[in-house]
Amino acid sequence: MYSIVILIKEIIIKILVFLIKGYYFLFKKDYYNKHHLEIVWDNGNLRASWFNHNDYVVLKESELNETLLESDPEEFINLVLSEAKNCNFIIFDCGDDERFVQFWLGDGEIMASWPIIKKTNKLGKYIYPMLGVLNELDITQRPTKVGGLIRTKYQYYEVKQERDFKDYQIHFADNIDEATRFTTVIFTKVFKQDLDKLRFKLG
């Protein structure tokens, strides 16, 4: 009887260990080792597919590239931000790798990153025009602690200073329309580029 109890306990422990390992494998925040379940209607049938992250990114890029040439650029930016929300990042440019708009999506929100890296990209010369765009969108810098509380707006930006670079991080929460407006204005008014040359990269 005693040996049966021990055996049951060992089985329970093994099951718990298996479940915990499965949870960490499937859901732990490992940005590039996560998995995706895609459920779509295909010719009147419900179809489910399971992808690792790399294959999921390839699938999404392929699907979106099919609509790129047929879409209005602003509508396409909105579509990418919507359809690629389970990816880690999106980078848009109009043919110039050093002038771009990138979004980090890996933490469940839309966050634009404007990194200033000396001699690596051209974004440093556009800081003030970019901040002007944020002002037009009524997106202000997150204030520091006030009376022991941190007061934040729904959308805000903050500046992260690292040793080698400075990063303006613009938090749009889940507001795809505002992120689309920001991207469109940056390319057309700040970079003065042609949106018909729009490109994108997912990761």
Residue 22 is assigned to a structural domain of this protein: no
pLDDT digits (tens, 9 = 90+) for 10-45: 666 566 556 555 655 555 566 667 766 666 666 766
Buried b (16+ CB within 10 A) or exposed e, 176-192: bebbbbbbbbbbeebbe
Q: Based on the structure, what is the number of domains in the chain?
A: 1
- DSSP H helices, the chain, are 2-27, 53-68, 73-83, 127-136, 176-185
Domain extent for 142: 35-202
Tell how far CA 190 is from the center of its chain: 22
Residue 128 is assigned to a structural domain of this protein: yes
Residue 28 is assigned to a structural domain of this protein: no
Residue 95 is assigned to a structural domain of this protein: yes
Average of pLDDT values for 106-127?
87
Residue 66 is assigned to a structural domain of this protein: yes
pLDDT digits (tens, 9 = 90+) for 36-60: 666 666 676 666 667 788 888 888 9
Q: What is the DSSP secondary structure assignment for residue 190, as one 8-state letter?
A: I
What's this model's pTM, rounded to 2 decimal places?
0.76
Question: Are residues 163 and 48 in contact, defined by beta-carbon separation less than 8 angstroms?
Answer: no
Tell how far CA 107 is from the center of its chain: 7
pLDDT digits (tens, 9 = 90+) for 60-94: 999 898 888 888 999 999 999 999 998 999 999 99
pLDDT at 104: 96
**Cβ neighbours, 10 Å, residue 170:** 25
**Any idea which of 49-53, 140-144, 145-149, 186-190 has the lowest mean pLDDT?**
145-149
Residue 139 pLDDT class (50, 70, 90 cuts): very high
Given a cut of 60, whether residue 159 has pLDDT beyond it is yes
Question: Are residues 106 and 88 in contact, defined by beta-carbon separation less than 8 angstroms?
Answer: yes
Residue 119 is assigned to a structural domain of this protein: yes
Residue 7 is assigned to a structural domain of this protein: no
Angstrom CA distances, 110 to 8, 11, 80, 106, 180, stand at: 47, 43, 12, 9, 11
Residue 171 is assigned to a structural domain of this protein: yes
pLDDT digits (tens, 9 = 90+) for 161-194: 887 789 999 999 999 999 999 999 999 999 999 9
| CA–CA separation, 183 and 102 (whole Å) | 9
